[in-house]
Structure 1
Amino acid sequence: MTSTISPAATAILSGPRLGLPKLVWALAATHFVGRAGGVVRSFLVLYLTQAQHLSPATAGVVVAAVGVGDIGSQLLGGWLGDRIGRRNTMLVGFVGAAVALTALGSADSMPEIWAAAVGVGLTIELFRPAASAAVADLPTRQRIRAFGLLYWAANLGFSVATVTAGILAKYGYGLLFWINVVASLIAALIVWRQVPETRPAGSTRTRRALLPVVLRDRLMIAMMVIHVGYFTLFLQTFTTLPLLMTADGLGPATYGAVLALNGIAIVVGQPVAVRLLAGRNGSVVSAVSMLLVGVGAGLGAISHGTAGFAGSVLIWTLGQIGIAVRFGDTFADLAPAELRGRYMGLASTTWSVGAVFGPLAGTALLDLAGPTVLGSACAISGIVLFFAQRALAPALRRRAAAHDESLETNNDRKGSAA
């Protein structure tokens, strides 16, 4: 099997900007537009309780249904990316999200709300594993910067959304739904006009089943377990931090200002981090980053005052940036070419699983044992993840070397055929 890409993709990839192909800039545009216009999810609980008059518990279950659908979308997006192509999967995701959001915004009965919520979860993140697979199809030297740009663009969009959504919500939740729908359609238009197909030629003929391959891939399984642990640790902070700050006598405005530091630090620091960390050992970068998140989350649990909480956020944000710089590239090196989309889907699923476990574990520990125990657990978790990631370093280096050797062999074969 060769790893060539289509002539259309070759034409797009031939025009680099700042060292990155046009494909990556087009994907970055979809990430920015999708996040900047993704205003519904942040206000979904308020919409369900205030506009639909659901109880908080019922609204929470509806939001959880979106989260469960999100887990499925990562797996489905990876599978579709390998079967029908990266480009087609992204188009299905963005257009499907527009349809699902329209249905959710107009649903009146509980069965309609449930069905639309699951539909939103299944479609709204469908593009992500397919886009990651498209970047993973690029030469190794371009991946780290490409994944970094996508992450930066998404966070810039998130910053825009957080600033504008609260202002626009006073004009009615219906406006938020329409903004989200239009953003999804604009992202689909960008994909249709600017994103070529990058799926390796011949991958549709191979069609190896994912599960038997993954079950034999102990390194992939170990990396998934570690990253589920990391995302559980990281994502619990977004649930426990407002509770800790409220208990310290700080209001929602202060919490919003402290959390805004996260987005600002990412937008400012991500490009610098890519330049500094691109040539570093990926396993070391990931291990240190996980340790920083554990230390930052631990300090946040025992902090007092605005400055203390702000300092903890900046520390775990540094770790968050480090993980983002090497996450996609590391998992891309683990993936067989014909299963690249599905492997990237599995990698993205670790975030979704952590998004379920993190809030549950963090709030339960805070409620049952208090902030000191929560802080200690976070710090210990960071240390455990550090050593676990470092233990996998030799195996990751061998897999990356084998991956590069395979790419060189395929390139030699293409050169001989030409």
Structure 2
Amino acid sequence: MLTQLLTWIPASAAPRLRAGLGGMPRAFWALWAGTLVNRVGTMVQPFFALYLTTDRGFSTAAAGTLLTVFAVGMLFSQLIAGWLADRFGRRATLLGGMLASAALMVAIAASSGLLAFGVELFALGLAIDVYRPASSALVADLVPERHRTRAYSLLFWAVNLGYTAGVLIGGALVGLGFGWLFRVDAATCAAFGLMVWFAVGEDTAPPAAGPRTSGFGAVLRDRVMCAFVLITGGYAFVYMQTVSTLPLAMRADGLSPAAFGTAMAVNGVVISIVQPLAVGRLGRADPNRVLTAGTVLVGLGFGLNALAASPLGYSATTVIWSLGEIAFTGASAATAVALAPPHLRGRYSGAYGFAWSLGGLPAPVAGAWLLDHGSSALWLTCAGIGLLAAVGQLLLGPAVARRTATAEPAPRPAD
């Protein structure tokens, strides 16, 4: 277990770190390690546009079309995966998604022609996020409810650590040829699936109580969950401006791409340092307050970009919304599975993932339109959406608390 590797840390020097990492079953740490490996190997996505236009010679318009096809596949990925995770099991779904992603990476690297790329990228979009609902449901199966916010926060930490390393390594490997990116990404996808398959014991979803309690119809009839999906979608719209309009706004302020890179580095540093130190306290706090505070901080951080005009200013606002990101991510995933009947955890996790697509898909177009009307219009709109989402979460909190107050069946014993 990871905690055994950290015995060299004096208790007086890092009590928060020990509190945040302790008490998790061994199977969870296998999932955590697999997630880290997979994210370290996430090298293809950040360089897709560059690969298609430089290595394969597609025009910017053709590359944009192909990336849109990929995004459409991702839109449905988590909904399908949620059903698969409940129907066939979390481990089997995660393994199948990862092996399919690995095979498609290899196929894309050897492919040629616009049609072939389109078909394969759509299929990759369907497969690449299959692991998310399966992983989320698996955490709920493995970890007691009182520890789940910590568990999801720790997974979020692994994702960010791995992704940061993967982008840096991928940038170095590009010099050796794009083929290396696909090989490494495929290998780590397969490794993740196999690690979970062999290191995590058998998982079974409890049977449904009746026909009306199964399927996505049950999710759609759940008004509390639907409201939570809309709130998460609002948060996602604001957050996704990091990869769409934030670099454009910084360029409009006369800043170089290096300034945007610095802001993103600040985000990675804040999460890498603060996340493991804060995870214990976040896990003990009222989830509704954590979610509300996280949404407020993200909205405030992006809203304050209206006053930023220098690398230091944008770095300062990045610190604010990064703290909100830390608070929101773990608590939101835990809330989604807490609302779910045990046999529908996959579907509810898929609906939670769909909420990110719901907010993320219109974010680039709407954000660019707002930016055309001035950076203040964009950032103040983000602040307003963040505030509305926070108010919505605050009002929804009592209903979530009533739903999650009843005792749930005990999860598998910790190893």
Displacement of 1:391 = 0.5
For residues 192 and 212 of structure 2, the distance between their equivalents in structure 1, rounded to whole angstroms, comes to 29
Alignment pair present for 1:140 and 2:140:
no
Displacement of 1:354 = 2.2
Instruction: Give the 3-state SS of the residue equivalent to 2:255 in structure 1.
Output: coil
For residues 183 and 49 of structure 1, the distance between their equivalents in structure 2, rounded to whole angstroms, comes to 25
Aligned match of 1:277: 282
Aligned match of 1:177: 182
Aligned match of 1:50: 54
Alignment pair present for 1:289 and 2:297:
no
For residues 146 and 190 of structure 2, the distance between their equivalents in structure 1, rounded to whole angstroms, comes to 32
Greater shift in the superposed pair: 275-284 or 196-205: 196-205
Aligned match of 1:249: 254
Kept in 2, the 8 Å contact 1:103–1:116? The answer is yes
For residues 216 and 38 of structure 2, the distance between their equivalents in structure 1, rounded to whole angstroms, comes to 31
Amino acid at match of 2:219: V
Aligned match of 2:197: 192
Aligned length: 391
Aligned match of 2:381: 377
Render the CA deviation track for 1:245-298: whole Å, top value 9, x for unaligned: 112222112211221111111111111221121121111111111111111111
Kept in 2, the 8 Å contact 1:89–1:127? The answer is yes
For residues 86 and 244 of structure 1, the distance between their equivalents in structure 2, rounded to whole angstroms, comes to 41
For residues 90 and 211 of structure 1, the distance between their equivalents in structure 2, rounded to whole angstroms, comes to 20
Greater shift in the superposed pair: 250-259 or 202-211: 202-211
CA RMSD of aligned residues (A): 1.8
Instruction: Give the 3-state SS of the residue equivalent to 2:42 in structure 1.
Output: coil
Which one of 76, 82, 104 corresponds to residue 78 of structure 1?
A: 82
Render the CA deviation track for 1:50-71: whole Å, top value 9, x for unaligned: 1111111211121122111112
Aligned match of 1:128: 132
Which one of 344, 353, 360 corresponds to residue 355 of structure 1?
A: 360
**What stretches of structure 2 of length at least 5 have no aligned partner?**
1-20
Which one of 161, 167, 171 corresponds to residue 166 of structure 1?
A: 171
What are the residue-to-residue correspondences of 1:403-414 with 2, within 5 Å? 404=407, 406-407=408-409
- Residue 204 and residue 81 in structure 1: after superposition, are their counterparts in 2 closer, same or farther (change >3 A)? farther
What are the residue-to-residue correspondences of 1:303-382 with 2, within 5 Å? 303-367=308-372, 369-382=373-386
Aligned match of 1:414: none
Kept in 2, the 8 Å contact 1:86–1:197? The answer is no
Kept in 2, the 8 Å contact 1:301–1:372? The answer is yes
Displacement of 1:141 = 2.0
Amino acid at match of 2:181: L
Amino acid at match of 2:379: G
Displacement of 1:127 = 0.9
Render the CA deviation track for 1:168-209: whole Å, top value 9, x for unaligned: 111111111111111112112212220223333435997944
Give the TM-score normalised by structure 2: 0.90
Instruction: Give the 3-state SS of the residue equivalent to 1:38 in structure 2.
Output: coil
Render the CA deviation track for 1:338-393: whole Å, top value 9, x for unaligned: 111111111111112222121122111101x1111112111111211111110011
Instruction: Give the 3-state SS of the residue equivalent to 1:239 in structure 2.
Output: coil
Alignment pair present for 1:41 and 2:52:
no
Kept in 2, the 8 Å contact 1:83–1:204? The answer is no
Give the TM-score normalised by structure 1: 0.90
Amino acid at match of 2:91: R
Kept in 2, the 8 Å contact 1:300–1:309? The answer is yes
For residues 322 and 265 of structure 1, the distance between their equivalents in structure 2, rounded to whole angstroms, comes to 12
Instruction: Give the 3-state SS of the residue equivalent to 1:298 in structure 2.
Output: helix
For residues 201 and 362 of structure 2, the distance between their equivalents in structure 1, rounded to whole angstroms, comes to 36
Instruction: Give the 3-state SS of the residue equivalent to 1:340 in structure 2.
Output: helix
Instruction: Give the 3-state SS of the residue equivalent to 1:236 in structure 2.
Output: helix
